[in-house]
Amino acid sequence: MVGKDKVIINHRYVSADQHPSPHHDERPDDEICLIVIHCISLPEAHFGSRYIDDLFMGRHRGGAHPELDELRDLKVSAHIVIDREGSVTQYVPFNRRAWHAGESVYVGRTRCNDFSIGIELVGTDHHPYSEAQYQALAPLVSDLQSHYAIPRDAIVGHSDIAPERKTDPGVHFDWSRIRINRT
């Protein structure tokens, strides 16, 4: 068993499957002070497809499903994806800037990708998340907070940093499951 101080080594979550995405770059200030929770399913409400991995790995070329053609050649990534069974996959080391938030603002600061860690839950805004996802997410958030000294109140949804264009993780996300009090 890995000790609490050894869950993140070289900016990688040791219990995660590693799928190194080409879609990342350097953080401008080497700062990590925010966690952003997202949801993703490709196509919408299809939870067991390979398309998320293809998208984040730069292998999605379109034609596989009509709803996905608009994503052709899109360059996006997240640091972590947690599937419906609770399996954790890491695409980008935490010290690198993943491309997950897009145009975003947190407490007056723009470009949230510069200073945040993006976690995608396989799901939609309209479906409850699985017990296995919460069981994987809660310790991950705790480990990230401890390792990077991320404040307790600096865990937000994509909808919090891009409210005009995003609604995830949605009304079914239970913030109390990761010990965050939100009003």
- Residue 27 in domain: yes
- Residue 147 in domain: yes
Q: What is the CATH number of the domain that holds 109?
A: 3.40.80.10
Per residue in 142-154, pLDDT (tens digit) is 999 999 999 989 9
- Residue 105 in domain: yes
Give the confidence band of 73 by pLDDT, cuts at 50, 70, 90.
confident
Selecting among 70, 85, 120, 131, the annotated active-site residue is 120
pLDDT mean over 70-84: 92
Cα 94 to Cα 96: distance, rounded to the nearest angstrom: 5
Number of domains the chain is built from: 1
Neighbours of 171 (CB within 10 A): 10
Range of the domain at 118: 14-178
Contact 15, 5 (CB under 8 A): no
Cα 98 to Cα 14: distance, rounded to the nearest angstrom: 18
pLDDT mean over 62-76: 80
CA 148 to the chain's CA centroid: 16
Per residue in 121-171, pLDDT (tens digit) is 999 999 999 999 999 999 999 999 999 999 989 999 999 999 999 999 999
Catalytic (active site) residue 120: yes
- Residue 140 in domain: yes
